[in-house]
Amino acid sequence: MSSAPPAPAAPPQRHVHKFGGSSVADAARYRAVPPLIDDGAPARMVVVSAMQGVTDALVALAAAARDAQDWAPAWSALRQRHFDTAAELDGDGRHGVHEAFEREFAQLRAQLQALPHGDEAERRAAALPGLGEVLSSHLLHAALGGDDAGWRRLDAREVLVVHPGEMGVGVDWQASRARLADWRARHPGERIVITGFVARDAQGRDTTLGRNGSDYSASIFAHLFEADALTIWTDVDGVLSADPRLVPDAVCLPAMSYAEACELAYFGAKVLHPQTLAPVQQRGVPLRIRNARNPAAAGTLITPQPSADGVPVKGLSLVHDLAVLELVGNGMVGVPGTAERLFGALRGAGVSVIMISQGSSEHSICCVVRAEQAQRGRDAVQAAFAGDLADGQAQAVTLTPEVCVLAAVGDGMVGTPGVAARLLGGLAQARVNVRAIAQGAGERNISVAIGARDATRALRAAHSAFWLSPQCVSVGLIGPGKVGRALLAQLAQAQPRFQRDSRLELRLRAIADSRRMRLTPKAMPADSAIDALEEGEALDLERFSAHVRAEHLPHALIVDCSGSDAVAAHYPQWLAAGIHVVTPNKQAGAGPLPRYEAIHAAVRHGGGQFRYEATVGAGLPVIQTLRSLLDTGDELTEVEGILSGTLAWLFNRYDGSTAFSELVREAHRLGYTEPDPRDDLSGTDVARKLVILAREAGRPLSLEQVQVESLVPAALREVPKDEFMARLHELDAPLQQRFDQARAAGLGLRYLARLDRDGRASVGVVSPPPGHAALHGALTDNLIQFRTRRYADNPLVVQGPGAGPDVTAAGVFGDILSIAQTLGARA
C-alpha cells in the first residue's frame, strides 16, 4: 500500500485501550501493558479481556457441572494459574489480588455446585464465563500500579445495562450513562481499568455480551466516556487484506473506513466483530488496531472517511460452510410478493440469509444460507410454495451444498469502472466457477458464491488481481540440462527486477531430472535449485504436477526442458487441469498426431496455455510470425530454411579446405552439438521442427512422412559414441564429392528443410540457387523463409542465432513472460 494512514488531528485527550486475551496471556504480557498505553492522554481507560484460554475453560467448567461431571480438577487448575500470575504481579499483596481471587473462586465453586437444571441452568451457566474478565482486571490493575498510581478498577456489571435483541445484545444507553455518572462521582479519577465482556440485564442479573464481547465493551465505553480515540491491542499488526494463513502475501492495511471495516467484519475478518463498530461509529471515534507484541507497527486506523489511496479493493474475505438455496419457477415472473414469501418462510424457520441473487428475468431467486440451516430452509420454502409446485407455477427448490462466499470490499469501488471485471477475470484465470454474484447499490462490496474446494485458489487469485500481492505463478522445471541451467540463471537475474518493477513472482517450487525431483512448499532460489535437487526424492510426475498446482496459488506452470517423450505424454493431462506448459521439447509438437491433437484440445477446453516457440527457432519468433500471418488471413504455401544452428555452423564453415569431420569435432568442443553429434547430423531434429511448422499451418504432417537425409553413414548409426567419434573421417569423402560438384556449378551446400505447396516435406543437403537467403547466413544462424499468398514473390525471412543454451533459454523465458502477461502481470 502506498499511502500512509491518516494521523489524528490532535493527540487524544480521552483514550480507551482494549487488550485481548493473547495480549494478557501471562504475567510478562501484563507487565508489557503500561508502556503501550503511556501515550500522554490526560484520561485513559483500559478494557481488558480474560487471560488467553480462560473463557473456554470457564465454558467447559459450566458444561461439566450442568452434566453432573467432575469439574473439580479443572477448577483447581484454573485457580492455580491465576494465583501463580497474581504472585508475580502482586507478590507483596499490596493490591489485594490474592484476597479478591479467594472470594471469586469460592463464589465460582459455589455457583458450580448449585447449578440447577433446565432453563435457569442455561441462564446462570451463560454468565459464568464473564468471570475471566473480572479476574483479569484485578491482575492488570496491579500491573499498572493500582490505586497508588491513580488507577481505579471498574466492574462493568456495576454500570453496563443491556438487553437481548434479534441482532445481538443491545445497550440501554440511558440507564448505563446514569450508572456510570454515579460510579464516577464515587470514584474520581481519569485512569480506569474496566472489565470487558460482562454486563447486567434490566433485572440486575449477570450476563455477557457474547463472543468477541470484550471488543464490543471497549467500543461501548469509548462511547460512554466520550473518548476521542480507541485502540484495540491484539496479536496481529492490523486488519489484513486477506487471511494470511491462506494468502501468504496478505498486507496490513494502514487505513480504512467504518463502512469497509463493517463489510469485512461481517464477511468473516477475525480482527473485528461487526457489532464492535456500531458504538464508535455513532460518535465518529477513530479506532486503531495494533499488535501488542509488535508495538512498532502503526496498525490499521479506522475512521469515518474513506482513505484516499486509490486502491479499489481493501480486503477480501471468505465465509465457509454455506449452501445455495434456489427457487425456480416460470410462474414467478412478474408476480408481486414472491420474494417476500420466500424470505418470510426462511425467517419463520430461523434461517439466516448470507447473500441474495436474482436475475432480471425473475425466473429464479437464489440465496446463500449456512450449511447447518440449509435443509431446514429448503423444507420451509417447499412448504411455503407447495401449491405453486403442485400447479407447475414453480418448478423446483434446489440446494447446492459445499459453497463459500468470497467478498471483495473497498470504498474505492464506488464509481470505479472495471472492478467486477478484475475480480471475475482473476477468478476465470484461476479456473474458478462463480455460482452466484451480488453487489449492493452502495458498490463497496462484490460477493460471489463459489465451490468450497475452489475457495483458497479463488481468494489468492482475487488478491493478486487487485495488486494486493505479487502476481504469483507456481513454477516447476523439468530437465536441468544446458537449457534448464541457463533458464535458471536468467530467472535468478530477473526475479528482483520483476518484484520491484512489475510485482510478478515466478515462484520456483519444484525441479526434476530424469530420476529425481525436489518439491518445496515455498520458493527455492533459482541459483541454488540444482544443488537442492541433490537432496531430492524419486521422480513421480503425478506428485510433481500436483505440487506445482497448489490449491493456495492461483496459477501453475511447468517448464519442460527435458527433450523426453515420456514427459511430453503428460501435457494433455496437465493442460486439462489448468497447468500452463512451456517447452523447447519437440516431442510434443512432432510426436504422434493423436497426442498433438489431444494437447491442443486440452488447451481449448482445460484453461492451460501451451507455449513452444523455442521448439523451432530457439529464441527466434518463428512460430509467432507464422501464427500472425495465419491469424490475419494469410495462407502458407511453402516453408524453407535452415532449422539447425549446429548444421548452419558446419555448412557456413565448410568450404572444402578443412575436412568436414574436423569441423564436427570443433563444433563438439565448442558445445554447438548435442553430446552425441549424431543427434544433429541425422537430420531427425530438423525434421521434427519442420513437422511442428507444418502442423502449426494446419497440415497433419507426421515425422514418418518427412524425407530425411542423414549425414551419418548407415555403418555408424548404431555403433557406440566413442567409436563413432573415432570414425568421423568416414563422413568426409561423400560430402567432399557433393561439395566439389556444387562448386563446379558455382553453387554451395546447405542443409535445408522444405515444405512445398503440395505438402511434400524433406530435409537434407541441397545446393541453393545463387541469391538464396540460406547462402547469406552467419555462424549458427537459423533462417526460415515463408512463402504465402501475401509474400509470394519475395518471401518473409526470419533469421538469427538458432543454437546455444542461452538463446534457447531466452526463448523459453519469453514464453513464460507471455503467459504471465495474460494472467495480469505487467512484465
CA dist 139 and 205 (Å) reads 25
CA dist 506 and 558 (Å) reads 11
CA dist 399 and 48 (Å) reads 44
Q: Going by C-beta distance under 8 Å and a sequence separation of 6 or more, which residues neighbour residue 344?
A: 384
**Among the listed residues 514, 504, 605, the one whose alpha carbon sits nearest the alpha carbon of residue 557:** 504
CA dist 258 and 271 (Å) reads 14
Q: Three cell numbers at 415?
A: 464509481
Q: 3-class DSSP state for residue 721? A: helix
DSSP structural state of residue 252: B
Using a 10 angstrom Cβ sphere, with 0-12 exposed, 13-18 middle and 19 or more buried, the burial of residue 235 is middle
DSSP 429-498: HTT--EEEEEE-TT-SEEEEEEEGGGHHHHHHHHHHHTTSS-EEEEEEEE--SHHHHHHHHHHHHHHHHI
**Residue 689 a catalytic site member:** yes
CA dist 765 and 270 (Å) reads 72
Q: What is the rounded radius of gyration, in angstroms, for the C-alpha atoms of the chain?
A: 37
How many residues are recorded in the chain? 827
Residue 354 near residue 322 (C-beta atoms within 8 A): yes
Q: Going by C-beta distance under 8 Å and a sequence separation of 6 or more, which residues neighbour residue 500?
A: none
Q: 3-class DSSP state for residue 24? A: helix
Q: 3-class DSSP state for residue 511? A: strand
Residue 417 near residue 320 (C-beta atoms within 8 A): no
CA dist 196 and 38 (Å) reads 20
How far is CA 2 from each of CA 252, 308, 410, 504, rounded to the nearest angstrom?
12, 10, 16, 17
Residue 322 near residue 435 (C-beta atoms within 8 A): no
DSSP structural state of residue 761: E
CA dist 702 and 682 (Å) reads 17
**Among the listed residues 209, 182, 181, the one whose alpha carbon sits nearest the alpha carbon of residue 18:** 209
Cα-Cα-Cα-Cα dihedral sign, residues 805, 810, 815, 819: positive
Query: What's the farthest any 2 CA atoms get from each other in the chain?
Result: 120
Residue 782 near residue 750 (C-beta atoms within 8 A): no
CA dist 362 and 365 (Å) reads 7
CA dist 779 and 801 (Å) reads 8
Residue 252 near residue 469 (C-beta atoms within 8 A): no
Choosing from 18, 314, 586, 689, the catalytic residue is 689
| Amino acid, single-letter form, for residue 647 | L
Task: List alpha helices for 671-747, DSSP H.
Answer: 678-681, 684-696, 721-726, 732-744
Buried/exposed 67-80: b ≥16 CB within 10 Å, e otherwise: eeeebeebbeebbe
CA dist 562 and 556 (Å) reads 18
Q: Three cell numbers at 387?
A: 401449491
CA dist 160 and 201 (Å) reads 8
User: CA angle, corner 233, sides to 231 and 237, nearest 5?
Assistant: 105
Q: Three cell numbers at 266?
A: 461481517
3-state helix, strand, coil in the chain (%, to 5): 45, 20, 35
Other residues' Cβ atoms within 10 Å of the Cβ of residue 249: 16
Bridge partners of 308, per DSSP, are: none
Residues marked active site are found at 689
